[in-house]
Structure formats: structure tokens, C-alpha cells
Amino acid sequence: MEHDDCKNNIVHRLSGLRIDMDEEELTAQETALYDRQIRVWGVDAQKRLSRAHVLISGLSGATAELCKNIVLAGVGSLTLVDPRPVTEDACNANFLILPENINGGRSLADVCCESLKDFNPMVRVSAEKGDLMQSDGEFFNKFDVVVISCCSSKAKKLINEKCRKRSRRMAFYTVECRDSCGEIFVDLQNYTYMQKSSDDTAECQLDFPSLEEAISIPWMDLPRKVSKLFFAMRVLDMFESSKERNPGETSISDLPEILKLREEMCNAQSVKDYDSLVPQSLLERLLAAGTKEHPPVCAILGGILGQEVIKAISGKGGPLKNFFYFDAADGKGVIEDISKPHAG
Amino acid sequence: MDTIEVSNLNRQFLFRQHHVGQSKAKVARDAVLRFRPHINITPYHSNVKDPQFNVDFFKQFNVVLNGLDNLDARRHVNRLCLAAEVPLVESGTTGFLGQVTVHVKGKTECYECQPKPTPKTYPVCTITSTPSKFVHCIVWAKDLLFAKLFGDKNQDNDLNVHSGDGNSQSEHAQDVFVRNPHEDLEQYGRRIYDHVFGYNIEVALTNEETWKNRQRPRPVYINDLLPDKLVHRNGYSEDCKTEDLTPSAMSSLNLKNPQDVWSLAENSRIFLESLRLFFEKREKDIGCLTFDKDDQLAVEFVTAAANIRASSFGIPLHSLFEAKGIAGNIVHAVATTNAIIAGLIVIEAIKVLQNDFENYRMTYCLEHPSRKMLLMPVQPFEANKSCYVCSETPLLLEVNTNTAKLRDVVERIVKAKLGMNLPMVMVGSTLVFEDGDDLDKDLAANYALNLDKVLSGLPAPVRSGTVLCLEDLQQELVCNINIKHREEFDEEKEPDGMVLSGWTTPSEKGKEVAVSNGETKAVASVSSSEADGDEVETTPAVPSKKRKMPKPERSETATENDDKPQTRPSRNLSDKKSLQEIKDNDDDDDIIVLDDNPETSKRKRIH
């Protein structure tokens, strides 16, 4: 079963998350249910999963897919936060919502929690009330993984900083799906692992910047050919922040202002050719989509992010560093390392 | 035709524990209707190769989405899609790897244009005499020893080794496996044990030539390990209520963890105990058993036997969990890869429905990024002009027309190699053979006679230069084979006694022990975009350097330097509404869930 490790030649000695392990064996029920995945990542990884606590804030099509994936995988507990009411739109890409839940007066977190409990009785799923922005840092102490979606860039940065200040290291992720495009951000702080080459084993360390640090890197210092989506998302973030809107609360009528903002941002970054860095056509697409998510893209984002969460918990497999983009228009799923200024 | 198993539940999110045993197609339909009540879904709990799923059946669809788990069914559906001219979106996953491809007649290659990875097979002598890997011991335990003891007694079996001079060991050995009426099950088990792990190894050791450059195996005898009779703790088994439902040597010997690697003595005890339990609790199964990875007792027996043999040959021992994976050819599967692949399937299906041919892509899901990409799109390839499935290029068969029987050609070539389901064989205008259940009695008798005739002795004789015309009416596949007579064939290299060329075969079977696959489930599913995540497991063809890697280079430069292809699909893709409307307004059953479980067990590669 360990041949997968040999294949990727990576063995993690100190996984980013220190999840307590005891000697307890998996039950026969767990062994039977998780058989096919234990063959992929091994018994130890499965035990770590069953002791991990995951917080997901913001329930969208993409995070619903993520929830499904990690509940099926068998994490210890999943806590959901999303006080928004269940609207018809919410049901577009989120299969956890049944038609009878629409306008039923319950929160998205409650409705999704109820659905998810059914997926795997061995996972504790709960819904938490309240606003993460207001919650003190203590609240985050009980989690190994925090995933934030459906909120402003400002809120994401704030929560990211709160998590970083905890004494216990946790994995932090954000994800947004805008129509047929998606973005994932990963912050594992400093992640140490052993990389095995043909005859030698070397200790490797990855340093992840915070969200704030990553998006503050001057554009001119970034590697060439960074996905245009990275820049387009920053323009939209900036626009939405200035209007105090949530992601996707835009329409095509915002285009003139967005284009103006693009120009300003590009000027500030000393970028001359605005349209080749942030094409207007791409902005139009993202604006027109509004908060709509394309369901198959949610499946892809939820799949990629789910795998990253499982990797961080199990300490198996080199992590994605530190942005992921998918665009159904060209079909590419690309990793961008946006961590420090590139020399020269 | 597949039903839900516990091991499906870690990824097939439409199914719950209480659905175990029920039809996948039916449960999937009900589950999807819960969150999308207004769509039409028709479940078929049947085999996709059934005659009811003919070309007319396939013609009613705009697209077919395959989620099959075996090559045979995939080839069959490919042919029906070609015949019905319906686009096919094909997919598969293994662990973190997966791929989605699009096949449209006249526009792209078909599923069979390129040879598929061949199932791993091992030379007979490696299995019977010179194993060097654990898998060799598994194949021996499963396909030889297990088959010999519990399977069809009339089947050929290479279990007994012959000494160098090929004396008459086998005559005597035939009786060894039959239980002597005077011996109890423990005595019988000990005798079998000593014969296969002790005596047979001693015989093999007399073959000095074999061990010149190899480590000599060590014969193992039961008395050296377990000198005393096993004590059956009857009290214990009474406590364990499940034992009567599913007899298990592990539970009667109180070995709990399937992840543990047992010692040689423990394996020996499991061997004796599982053999005893087969005779005691499952006597009626004996004689007709084939290895099934879901049969706990069979897995225990095979694990123990493989480990004892491994120990004898100095090969590291393995746990039951690992042995089960190897013996059952279990495909690694996780929810995340299935979600990604399901998403990619829907993206391609939408392009197919929008006739957006220029933007069709084959997409590979990789475990490690290649040029920053985890999901790598590649432009589809053109059809292979020499593909016998989607072009009319004839094949060439070299065969001894004076000794080869029509049956040999039908079994080894037409069915095994060309994957025809219900073939007809014509020589000129004479029909010499036809397969099917509803044939006229006289006709069927006539065909049966023909099967046993040599090619040159058929009513329409087949000789060098003759063209055989093969047709499968269900698959609507016609294929011509030019016959070339040849006298001699190399027994080792050309074990079929005939050689087919003009196309690369997907599965070579020789005078070799094939690793038969215990996997018995298969799903073909066509589902709505919301119902993604259904089973899509198989061995994906990871992009090979030779054929596939140069392509993305081109597609990348095309999209990087030219903005047009990037903007065009975007409009199509964001135009979801129209698609939704088509679906919702269509009163016909436009979404179909097909379920399939071909009885024939398929061979798959082991790793």
C-alpha cells in the first residue's frame, strides 16, 4: 500500500499539522468503508483524518463539494458557519440543498449540516452560529483546517491573520467560484516535510505567505505568465471591497468603474499594457456571472481543495503552493506560486 | 446491473449505508431526483451489452457519458456510439489520476484508435517454478492452488511442477488433491500443505539448471511449524455470532487486524483453518468456486498460501489487506478525483451539446503538476486511419488453414481480440457462423458443426488469400480479415497458433497465466450535471511521452499567443441557461442511467 509514497517520492515526517495519534486501530467498519482510499493514502493517514477538525465558513457550490469530499473521506469533525438564509439561487450549484429547504427560514449552515450528517455517520457535522469576523482568536483553536469562502477579501485576510496568531499551526484556505472560473488560496505557514530522492532523503521546508503578503507582492516582481485570473480576481476584490460587497455581487453595469479601477491598479503597479495583463473580456465574463457558479467547476474546485485538505491533515503528498486557478474556457487547472518577489 | 457495496460509499455520494445491495442505477436516480425533482431519469438495472441497448437505443441520445470500469464494455459502447453517430465522453480514474476524452465520429479518434494498456500477465514458469515477486505468489495461490482445490476440476491447471525429465509425476499428483475418505480435514489440509509447499519444492529443486543463477527455494513442511493439531476453540466461535454467516479463519483464530503481516506459523494456521472452513461450512460451493475478492474466506486462503510460498522463495510477506488488493485487482479510488473528473465530463458534455467542436479537449488529471498544470487539456486526436473499428482497413490473419478450427478463430480472434459480442462470420457470401440465442435449431446445429471444422474444410473453404468478413449486428461493426496461410507457429511466442496484424491488440493472452480480475462491478452512467461523482474508475491512460506530450505544447502556444480561442468558449460556457431549458422542456427521457455488470471477469493490469 505504500507504493504510492514511492511513486511521489515524498515522505512527510513532520506534517504541517500535528494531529495527535494514539495507538487505536481503525474499526472493522472503518476499514470496510474506507478500503479504497486506505489503498491510496494508508492507514496512518486515515487515522489522522479521523482526528482532524475542519471549519468551513461560507457555503457555496464549491464548498458544498468540498464538504462532501472531506465528510466522505472521514474527517473527525466538520463545523459549518453560514448564517445566510436559503434562497433559490443558493440551490443552483449546491446539491446539499433540497427544494423544500428554499425560504424555509433556516440558515445555509443548518440546512447543509443536516444533509451532510447523512453522508457519513462516522463524522460529526455541526453548524455554528455567529460571525467569524467578530469571534475572538480562541474560537479557531479547536480547528486543524479553516476554509473561508463567500466573504470579502478583507474578511479573509483578517481571519487568515487570526489563524496565524494561534499557537497551534493550522491550514488555511480560501476558495471562490465565479461562473466557469475558480481560485483557491493556500496558507500552510511553514510546512516541513521529507523529500526522498533516489538515494537520499532531504528535509524540505515550504514557507507560505499570508493572504495579505501574497497579494501585496508587486505585480512586476511576480513570475512571468502568471494566470490572468490572478490579476482579474485582485481587481474584482478591490472593487468589491471599495463598495463593501461580497464576492460576485457585481453586474456588467459595473464594467466602466471596473475598467477605471484596472487602469489605476495597473498604473500603481507600473504595468503599461492593461489589457494583456487583465483582459477586458475576462472581466466582462466574471462580472456578468455575478454570484452564479458553474456546477461542474464547483466539482473541480471542491475536488482539488478537498485533496489539499486531506494532504495537509495526513501529511502525505507535496502541497499545492499557493494559488490554484481553473478556467473552463481553456480547461487548464494551474498552480501559481505567488510567494516572494522574483529576483530580477 | 451493478449493486451498491460498502466500499463504494467513500466516494459514490448518492449512496448510503442502507442502500447496500440495491441497484446503483435506481438509487442514483432517486437520489438525484431529491435535489432536482423536475428532470427525467430512466434507470436500467441491466448489462450495457444486452441486445436491448442496440444502435436504435443509442440513437435517441445527444451524448453518451461513460463511467465504465472495464475495457470490454468500453469497447462495446464505443462501437455503438460510432454506429449510432452519437458523441461519447469517456473517462476513468485511479487514485489521484484520471482522464476525460471526447470521441465524435468523423471528427476525433474513436476510443479504440489507440492501443490500450495490456493487462499484466506472467509467464507460466514464473508462476509455477520461479516466483520473484509477491504478485507471482498471489497468482499461484489464486489461479492455481485455489482453483485446483475449490474450482472446476475439469479445468487445465499447471499447479504440479514436473521434474526435469518430465516423468510421470502428474499421474500420481492428480490424486493428491482429492480428499481421502479416511482422513479428517486437518489431516487433509496438512497433506495438501506438505505436497504444495514441501514436496513440490523438492521436485523443483531437482531441476539444477533452474537454480544456477537463482536463490534456491526452501521447502516448508507443516510439522516444522505446527507440530500439534490445531485446537478448535468451539466456545469462541459460538460467542462470535457472525461466524456462521460468513465463516472466517481470521475470526476463528482471533486475528483481528487485516493490516498486520502474519508470521509463517500464523499463515500456516490460517491456511489449515480456511481450508477446513471451506469443507465444513461451504462444501456445496466446492467445485464451482472462482476467486472473489469479496469472499473473506477465499481472501484468507489465498493470502496465507501466497505468504507461505513467498516465505519459501525468500519474498517478503504481506498483510491480508495488501494481498486482497493485489489478488482482487482493486482499483484505488477517492472522492476528490471522482469529483474533478465528473466536473470535467460535464464541461465536455456541454461543449458536445453546443456543438462547440473546436473546443473539445481531452483532459488529464495529474498527481504532480506538469508545467504548472494539475489539469492538463489536450486537443483531441484525429482518427487513426488504420483503426479497424472506425475505419474500413482490413486486418491480416496468419493461420494454418489446415489445422486451425473455425472455433479457434472465433474464440481467440473475433471475440477475445476484436471484442465482438455476437459475431457473424462470412466467407464470400456464405455465412459459416453466427452467434445468438434466437437462432433456428437446424442452423445452430450447422454452425456448431462448422466450429469444429478446420478453416480449409468449411463449406466455403478458407485458404491463403480468402477474405473473412466479420460482422456484429448489435455493434454494427463490419471488419474484413485477409487470410494468409502459414504452416508453423512458435508455441512460446505465438501461443494462439495464429497472428493477427494490422492493428495493435489491447490484450495479449499467451501461454501465460493471466491475472484475472475479481472486480465484478461496472457502472455505465449518464447523469445530469448535478449528479456528478458517480463511479468512474479504471486505469487511465496517463499521457505517454511519445504520443500525447507534444500535443499540449501546441495547444498551449495556440492559446497563449492568440486570445481568440480563449474568449470564444467563454461565451458558450456562460450560456448555461439555454442548456438548462433544453433539458427542462424536453418531455422525453433525456437522461439515462445505465448500469452494467458483464458476467465475464476482465483482466486488468496489476499495477
Q: In angstroms, what separates the C-alpha of A40 from chain B's closest C-alpha?
A: 6
H/E element holding A124?
strand A124-127
CB contact under 8 A, A296 and B10: no
pLDDT band at B159 (very low <50, low <70, confident <90, very high): confident
Question: How much is the pLDDT for B60?
Answer: 95
B487: exposed, middle or buried (Cβ count in 10 Å: 0-12, 13-18, 19+): exposed
pLDDT band at A248 (very low <50, low <70, confident <90, very high): confident
CA distance A103 to A100: 8
Q: B132-314 is classed in which CATH architecture?
A: Orthogonal Bundle (1.10)
User: How far are the Cα atoms of B18, B77, B505, B508, B606 from residue B118, in angstroms, in the given order?
Assistant: 37, 19, 8, 7, 10
Tell me the chain B residues in contact with residue A285 when contact means C-beta distances shorter than 8 Å: 570, 574
Flag whether B9 is marked binding. Answer: yes
**Annotation: CATH topology of B395-502:** 3.10.290
Mean pLDDT of A50-72: 96
CB contact under 8 A, B529 and A296: yes
CA dihedral defined by A153, A154, A155, A160, rounded to 10 degrees?
90
User: Which chain B residue shows the shortest CA-CA distance from A7?
Assistant: B367
Q: Kindly state whether B559 is in contact with chain A, defined as any CB-CB distance less than 8 angstroms.
A: yes
Least confident of A293-297, A315-319, B95-99, B428-432: A315-319
Looking at every residue in chain A, the average pLDDT score rounds to: 88
Of A43, A120, A332, the CB nearest to B259: A43
User: Which chain B residue shows the shortest CA-CA distance from A65?
Assistant: B339
Question: How much is the pLDDT for A28?
Answer: 83
Tell me the chain A residues in contact with residue B326 when contact means C-beta distances shorter than 8 Å: none
Catalytic residue among B125, B137, B240, B469: B125
Where are the alpha helices (H) located in B418-549, listed in sequence order? 441-451
CA distance B186 to B191: 9
Closest CA to A303 of B344, B15, B540: B344
Helix, strand, or coil (residue B397): strand
pLDDT at B127 over 50: yes
**Is residue A328 within 8 Å of residue A296, measured between CB atoms?**
yes
Q: Kindly state whether B209 is in contact with chain A, defined as any CB-CB distance less than 8 angstroms.
A: no
Task: Out of A16-25, B513-522, B567-576, give the one with best mean pLDDT.
Answer: A16-25
User: Which chain A residue shows the shortest CA-CA distance from B338?
Assistant: A303
pLDDT at B65 over 50: yes
Question: How much is the pLDDT for A6?
Answer: 38
Closest CA to B134 of B124, B146, B125, B126: B126
Which of B559, B570, B580 is the mutation pick for testing A, counting most A CBs within 10 A?
B570
CB contact under 8 A, A25 and B321: no
Mean pLDDT of B433-441: 84
Question: How much is the pLDDT for B441?
Answer: 86
Q: Kindly state whether B246 is in contact with chain A, defined as any CB-CB distance less than 8 angstroms.
A: no
**Is residue A300 within 8 Å of residue B375, measured between CB atoms?**
yes
Closest CA to A74 of B321, B335, B19: B335
Q: Kindly state whether A331 is in contact with chain B, defined as any CB-CB distance less than 8 angstroms.
A: yes
Cell 449528479 found at: B531
Q: What is the DSSP string of B339-383?
A: HHHHHHHHHHHHHHHTT-GGG--EEEEEEEEETTEEEEEEPPPPP
**Is residue B362 within 8 Å of residue B99, measured between CB atoms?**
yes
pLDDT at B560 over 50: no
* Cβ neighbours, 10 Å, residue B21: 9
Q: What is the DSSP string of B23-43?
A: BHHHHHHHHHHHH-TTS-EEE
Which of B4, B243, B336 is the mutation pick for testing A, counting most A CBs within 10 A?
B336
**Whole-number percent of chain A with pLDDT over 90:** 66
pLDDT band at B392 (very low <50, low <70, confident <90, very high): confident
pLDDT at A176 over 50: yes
CA angle B15–B17–B23, rounded 5-degree value: 50
Please name the residues between 152 and 171 in chain A that touch chain B, using a CB distance below 8 Å.
none
At the top level of CATH, the class of A3-209+293-336 is alpha beta
Of B7, B369, B566, the CB nearest to A330: B566
Q: Decide which of A309 and B576 is more confident.
A: A309
Question: How much is the pLDDT for B230?
Answer: 67
Of A41, A281, A299, the CB nearest to B342: A299
**Whole-number percent of chain B with pLDDT over 70:** 77
**Whole-number percent of chain B with pLDDT over 90:** 47
User: Which chain B residue shows the shortest CA-CA distance from A323?
Assistant: B372
CB contact under 8 A, A328 and B573: yes
Looking at every residue in chain B, the average pLDDT score rounds to: 79
User: How high is the ipTM of this complex?
Assistant: 0.92
Tell me the chain B residues in contact with residue A8 when contact means C-beta distances shorter than 8 Å: 367-368
Please name the residues between 568 and 597 in chain B that touch chain A, using a CB distance below 8 Å.
569-570, 573-574, 576
Mean pLDDT of A280-307: 94
Q: Kindly state whether A328 is in contact with chain B, defined as any CB-CB distance less than 8 angstroms.
A: yes
Instruction: Please provide the CATH number assigned to the domain covering B6-118+332-385+517-596.
Output: 3.40.50.720
User: Which chain A residue shows the shortest CA-CA distance from B337?
Assistant: A303
CA distance B436 to B422: 6
Of A32, A65, A302, the CB nearest to B6: A32
User: How far are the Cα atoms of A243, A271, A287 from residue A249, in angstroms, in the given order?
Assistant: 10, 27, 9
Q: Is B479 a catalytic residue?
A: no
Tell me the chain B residues in contact with residue A74 when contact means C-beta distances shorter than 8 Å: 10
Mean pLDDT of B327-350: 94
pLDDT at A283 over 90: yes
CB contact under 8 A, B532 and A296: yes
Tell me the chain B residues in contact with residue A35 when contact means C-beta distances shorter than 8 Å: 6-7, 10, 330
Question: How much is the pLDDT for B244?
Answer: 52
Of B13, B37, B343, the CB nearest to A297: B343
Q: Kindly state whether B214 is in contact with chain A, defined as any CB-CB distance less than 8 angstroms.
A: no
Tell me the chain B residues in contact with residue A98 when contact means C-beta distances shorter than 8 Å: 34-35
B272: left (phi over 0), alpha (psi -120 to 50) or beta: alpha
Q: Kindly state whether B98 is in contact with chain A, defined as any CB-CB distance less than 8 angstroms.
A: no
CA distance A48 to A82: 27
Which of B322, B334, B566 is the mutation pick for testing A, counting most A CBs within 10 A?
B334
Domain parsing of chain B, residue ranges: 6-118+332-385+517-596, 132-314, 395-502
Question: How much is the pLDDT for B170?
Answer: 47
Tell me the chain A residues in contact with residue B365 when contact means C-beta distances shorter than 8 Å: 333
Question: How much is the pLDDT for A341?
Answer: 58
Q: Kindly state whether B95 is in contact with chain A, defined as any CB-CB distance less than 8 angstroms.
A: yes
H/E element holding B60?
none
Question: How much is the pLDDT for B275?
Answer: 95
Q: In angstroms, what separates the C-alpha of B500 from chain A's closest C-alpha?
A: 36
Query: pLDDT tens digit string along B175-187?
Result: 788 888 888 899 9
Mean pLDDT of B23-29: 96
Q: Kindly state whether A122 is in contact with chain B, defined as any CB-CB distance less than 8 angstroms.
A: no
Q: Which amino acid is at B236?
A: Y
